[in-house]
A and B are shown apart, each in its own frame.
Chain A
Amino acid sequence: MIFKVFFTIFFIIFLGFCFIFYFDFSYNKEDKYNKLNSMVLFTNSFKISFSNAYSEDNSQLQNKPYLFHKSTNHMDFIYVK
């Protein structure tokens, strides 16, 4: 009975790792990188749509690491009226 328990645990772990390797192998990375690269070439810029992204239109060139930050832009104010 004890062996059955441990064998089950080993087997679950084995299946888990098989799943991980299968998932990694079957994921179409090339297609994704092609699309991302096309995106960058198409828009001629690398813009990540998150607040921790590097913003070229910022007046300051400092690195801004922060955990949570809502990004706003001075252009927003034009439309508030």
Chain B
Amino acid sequence: MLNKSFYSFLFLMLFTHRSKHFSIFVISIILVFILSSVMFISTSLSKDIQYTLNSQPDFVVQKMKAGEVIDIDLSLIEKIEQIYGVKNVTSRVYGKYFFKPLKQSFTIVGVDFFEEQNSKNLKTLSKKLDMSKFLEKEYMIIGSGVKKLFDKFKYDKSYFFTTPLGESIEVEIYDVLDDTTSLLSNDMIILPKELAKIVLGLDEFKASDIALNVPNELERANAKVEIILKDDNLRVISKDDMKSYYLNLFNYKTGLFLVLYIVVILTFLLILYQRYSMINSSDKKEIAILKAVGWSIKDILKLKVFENFLVAFFSFSIGIILSFIYIFVAKAPFLMQIFLGFSNLDFSYELTPYIPFGSIVTLFIFYVVPFLCVILIPVWKIATVDVIKSIK
């Protein structure tokens, strides 16, 4: 019975009952919007993190004292380099710098600008880089969030750092990192390593921690043990620890929303079922009338299924489109905070658009199928058992 006149009648009935369908339509859009926003943001963030986490050093070695991380001795680097399979052992200098006017902290990272690899990476990050000019003096490169704050307090060209020893050091801003990397660089100030040590109050022969790579996966476990044995109170953090942390974080957040989904969808389905089983509904009479003029149960079910499928499909599509625009064009103003936590500074990061087709199809199935089932049961009941009752 899938002829043209059936479709005309279908659209006619859908249009005639538009006010009845409207509330369901709006609620569906909101539901799908929330669920798909969560889906988009979590897949996008985890993809971004997944792709960049691999560049992170395999191991980080820290010195502990009374349960706290303290500065590590640079002499340890030589000892670690002797371990078989270990490569690229470098010291890292970083820490937080307190910005008094706003009582917020910046992250200071010390980088050896003279290293060749670093200059290559810097060229990717900074468009207006003139290496010779850059290396003449001690400049800093700041993130976009830092720039916004500096502008607010009129630190246009340079900033005066106060060291723990009470000294004041002026450092000129060379460049600002754009929003593309603001997930990482938003509150960052990148200084030459030695200068960073002075600003953070680190000793000349100390560093915040030591980073290294162990390219061969099979040697990693051994390397970890050998590193720990090099000195007292050393802690070794692996890249895998970080990976599992972020995985857990997103799974936890997604899990929370999954629970929310179940609760909300069940309530919604209950409301739908209630609506369709209402005793005085003119819907009931309509079904009975169609039965009386010769529509079979199959025909009536087809009509109702298609009618509600269209409502579900329209609301689902519009929900997905709106959530995509919210997350990737409007940059997810509120949801970002829920996923990543409170941000130190004013934040503006463009999430990488990623369309998880599998998840969308799954969401569609888990949304539309219960929706239609919940509609079909009362309709079938009316068309079979209650026809005569409804007609009177």
The answer to whether A and B belong to the same complex is: yes
Residues from chain B with a CB closer than 8 A to the CB of A78 are: 98, 164, 201
B249 to A52, Cβ gap below 8 A?
yes
CA distance in complex: A11, B95 (Å): 54
Residues from chain A with a CB closer than 8 A to the CB of B145 are: 49
Considering the complex, give the chain A residue whose CB is closest to the CB of B250: A65
Interface residues of A in 6-54 (CB under 8 A from B): 6, 9, 13, 16-17, 19-21, 23-24, 27, 29, 31-54
Interface residues of B in 184-202 (CB under 8 A from A): 184-188, 190, 200-201
A40 to B111, Cβ gap below 8 A?
no
B188 to A51, Cβ gap below 8 A?
no
Size class of B's contact patch? 35 or more
B352 to A29, Cβ gap below 8 A?
yes
CA distance in complex: A45, B347 (Å): 20
Residues from chain B with a CB closer than 8 A to the CB of A49 are: 107, 143, 145, 182-188, 343-345, 347
> Smallest Cβ distance from B343 to chain A, in angstroms?
5
Which of B61-69, B292-300, B377-385 lies at the interface? Answer: B61-69
> Smallest Cβ distance from B310 to chain A, in angstroms?
8
B12 to A2, Cβ gap below 8 A?
yes
CA distance in complex: A80, B98 (Å): 8
A65 to B355, Cβ gap below 8 A?
no
Residues from chain B with a CB closer than 8 A to the CB of A76 are: 96, 98, 105
B121 to A42, Cβ gap below 8 A?
yes
Interface residues of B in 295-326 (CB under 8 A from A): 314, 317-318, 320-321, 324
How many A residues, CB 8 Å from partner? Answer: 60
Considering the complex, give the chain B residue whose CB is closest to the CB of A57: B69
Considering the complex, give the chain A residue whose CB is closest to the CB of B353: A24
With beta carbons under 8 angstroms apart, the residue of A5, A36, A80 that contacts B184 is A36
With beta carbons under 8 angstroms apart, the residue of A16, A39, A61, A79 that contacts B237 is A61
Count chain B CB atoms within 10 A of each CB in A19, A47, A50, A76 and give the residue with the most. Answer: A50
Residues from chain A with a CB closer than 8 A to the CB of B120 are: 38
A42 to B51, Cβ gap below 8 A?
no
> Smallest Cβ distance from A72 to chain B, in angstroms?
8
B253 CB-CB contact with A under 8 Å: yes
Residues from chain B with a CB closer than 8 A to the CB of A37 are: 51-52, 54-55
A54 to B242, Cβ gap below 8 A?
yes
Residues from chain A with a CB closer than 8 A to the CB of B107 are: 47, 49
Considering the complex, give the chain B residue whose CB is closest to the CB of A6: B11
Residues from chain A with a CB closer than 8 A to the CB of B237 are: 56, 61
* CB contact under 8 A between A69 and B341, given known A33-B51, A37-B55: yes
CA distance in complex: A58, B344 (Å): 17
> Smallest Cβ distance from B160 to chain A, in angstroms?
13
B92 to A75, Cβ gap below 8 A?
no
Which of B214-222, B265-273, B283-291, B332-340 lies at the interface? Answer: B332-340
CA distance in complex: A45, B320 (Å): 35
CA distance in complex: A9, B22 (Å): 14
Considering the complex, give the chain B residue whose CB is closest to the CB of A2: B15
A17 to B317, Cβ gap below 8 A?
yes
| A residues neighboring B (CB under 8 Å) | 2-3, 5-6, 9, 13, 16-17, 19-21, 23-24, 27, 29, 31-54, 56-59, 61, 63, 65-76, 78-80
A-B complex: 7 closest residue pairs judged by Cβ atoms: A52-B341, A51-B341, A16-B321, A50-B340, A42-B121, A40-B55, A46-B56
12 new A-B contacts at CB < 8 Å, known A16-B318, A36-B183, A46-B55: A24-B355, A38-B121, A38-B125, A41-B117, A46-B52, A56-B209, A57-B69, A57-B208, A57-B209, A59-B64, A69-B342, A79-B100
A-B contact pairs, 22 of them (CB 8 A): A13-B314, A13-B318, A16-B318, A17-B321, A21-B355, A36-B183, A37-B54, A39-B185, A42-B122, A44-B111, A46-B184, A47-B107, A48-B340, A49-B182, A51-B343, A54-B245, A56-B209, A65-B252, A68-B337, A68-B338, A74-B68, A75-B98
